[in-house]
A and B are shown apart, each in its own frame.
Chain A
């Protein structure tokens, strides 16, 4: 299940386990620092073993699997775009992932600009002139792909780490 060799994603929501049953005393919450400890040590190790480009690809792909499962399990299918955004905003907020806001939504050209404030991954990190939210790029792209039933890609254009106060993502149809 967890340690079998594979060539493509086999992630399933059930891999997250029954948290309520497993943590009767500690409950489902943890600290943001713990999440970041995992994310940035993992990135560190992957880069050490491979290279930055590989690390980025791994984070993007993992984000995509996460987005797909997230859409399947936490969002409703077949909603209109406004309802999808409203539900996504609500869910991201409830789970303390970030404050999602929309700056542009062009449903004809399929082009969207979103921002995430107080982002789980990067808000408060040291300024490094790097766009670090690669996982989020994969996550957002597959959320949009799942919603529209077409392949989307998301690119981070501003990040806390580049000196912005929000992460800004441009979401467009992927080249087929």
Chain B
């Protein structure tokens, strides 16, 4: 528009009439109306005609900008912003940021909590805070889930696996051993005269005895061995990849450790023993029941044979 000199005193009636039309046009633009293109035909070097052309170009750019801003404001992020006004550049910047934000939101929905928003001032701050909190909540829920899972499979008093988990484990171990011809051994244990301990010293002491018993068993067992509480004072162990002889050694160590153990509760000292039955997988075992029954029978023999004994079947 530079270089254009507005007409001076030499304007005629026709020029004034055309300038009036320009004023009306710009007025309409400023008042958010959509004026028709200006018709200011004239000579090639006619300044008034040139002003008309500039105004028309500006009108078109403004209308394109208005349309783009409107489309963007209603969420059409792919609108093409063609006009070459400075405002359009800012709008394009915003458009790129919003398109990236849309992608980032999708990423977060997928679980990628590393996304952070930039260049959107206070919104960035709030959004990023939201993502951080979402991640913190997620971690907390994951932690709670892990805790719930743990509670669902353990005995609350001793912390060893409960009967349900133990049965699931031994079933899997049996199937695995059948498929891959692996060996395992099972141990059944029962604390001797546990009812008498309870009657003589109270349940609190009984609980301490159970805790001391499992803690001492865990010390002896390997990481891969599984200890479960079957009922009141009844416990079982699965020793994967362990033959009868190995199981006997483990059982004897448990028996001896418990026989030597002194449990101190308040001012009382409690001593107790454990009877143990063991068995190992045999080639002709067709089901889990046979193994468990053998271990039970061995335990029964240990009890009947005077307790504080290990019997292998």
Contact = CB atoms under 8 A, between A and B. Distances in A.
B92 A101 contact: no
A165 B89 CA distance: 6
Contacts of A102: 100, 103
A86 B114 contact: yes
B99 A103 contact: yes
Contacts of B99: 103, 115
Contacts of A105: 103
B96 to A, nearest CB: 5
Prevailing SS type, chain B contact patch: helix
B15 to A, nearest CB: 34
Contacts of B84: 127, 163
A169 B92 CA distance: 15
A117 B112 contact: no
A82 B107 contact: yes
Interface residues of A, number: 16
Given A82-B107, A127-B84, A164 B92 contact: yes
A104 interface: yes
A165 B112 contact: no
Nearest to B97: A101
B103 A165 contact: no
B93 interface: yes
B247 interface: no
Contacts of B93: 117, 165-166
Contact of B96 (A86, A117, A127, A163): A117
Interface residues of B, number: 16
A54 B224 CA distance: 67
A105 B105 CA distance: 12
Contacts of A82: 107, 112, 114
A101 B114 contact: no
B88 interface: yes
Interface in A44-81: none
A25 B97 CA distance: 39
Interface in A92-113: 99, 101-105
Interface hub of B96, B102, B103, B114 (most chain A Cβ within 10 A): B96
B69 to A, nearest CB: 15
Interface hub of B90, B93, B103, B114 (most chain A Cβ within 10 A): B103
A163 B103 contact: no
Interface in B80-100: 84, 88-90, 92-93, 96-97, 99-100
5 contacts: A105-B103, A115-B100, A163-B88, A165-B92, A166-B96
Given A164-B89, A165-B92, 15 more contacts: A82-B114, A99-B118, A101-B96, A103-B96, A103-B99, A103-B102, A105-B103, A115-B96, A115-B100, A117-B93, A117-B96, A163-B84, A163-B89, A165-B89, A165-B93
Q: State the 6 A-B residue pairs at the shortest beta-carbon distance, nearest first.
A: A101-B100, A103-B99, A165-B93, A166-B96, A165-B92, A102-B103
